[in-house]
Amino acid sequence: MSKIIGITGSIGSGKSTVGNILESLAVPVIDTDMVVHKILAESKPAQEQILAAFGKEILNDTTNAIDRAKLGALVFSNENKRKQLEAIVHPLVLEECTRQIATLSQAPQIAVLVPLLFEAGLEDRYDEVWVVVTKESDIRSRLQKRDGLSNEEIDQRLAAQLPQKEKAARADAIIDNSGSREETKKRVQELLTSLV
């Protein structure tokens, strides 16, 4: 039986960094953000539901596909719309993750990156939950650089998630990603060793 590790943390905390480290240590990683991208790009039923709920203004002007930036701006400024989107997307993401976990069942450990793990009440689906934390100033500068978000947009995205302290308090393990990549890797290796 594979040990399934749920990895969560605030937006911009470094979940992808931890995912990359785990992959470099031969642990398969399922990134639910990638699963969502795939659903938005390929699932006709999901696209139809999302368009019916949010209208054509979320489409990209040139490709006519769902524009994630437009959709994000809409749902992060309106909690009801965000919940509506989650109700459409979350069941499909869970279904796809379950399918991928089944195909990886030979691996001793499987990591799943889940931004809204606690918010969606998914902690019981994992053998262990690891929370990635970092300084809020680092989160803000990453989101400005990486996603080109304004301070107001960053506030909206952080407000849509539980505070880092609360996530950390509910975790089986905490990975502090405030230092160097090597320090983060060392912590990930320690945690993997403790699982065996």
In our burial notation (b when 16+ CB lie closer than 10 A, e otherwise), range 67-81 reads beeebbebbbeeeee
CA distance 179 to 156: 26
Please, which pLDDT band fits residue 69 given cuts at 50, 70 and 90? confident
Structure tokens at 45: 């039923």
Question: What phi and psi values does residue 97 have, to the nearest 5 degrees?
Answer: -65, -45
How confident is the model over 77-101, as pLDDT tens digits? 898 999 999 999 999 999 999 999 9
How confident is the model over 150-171, as pLDDT tens digits? 999 899 889 889 999 999 999 9
> Which structural domains are found in the chain, ordered by start?
1-28+107-196 (3.40.50.300), 42-103 (no CATH)
Is it the case that residue 196 has pLDDT exceeding 80?
A: no
Is it the case that residue 30 has pLDDT exceeding 80?
A: yes
Is it the case that residue 29 has pLDDT exceeding 80?
A: yes
Residue corresponding to tokens 């989101």: 143
- The pTM of the full predicted model, rounded to 2 decimals, is 0.91
Higher pLDDT, 25 or 153: 25
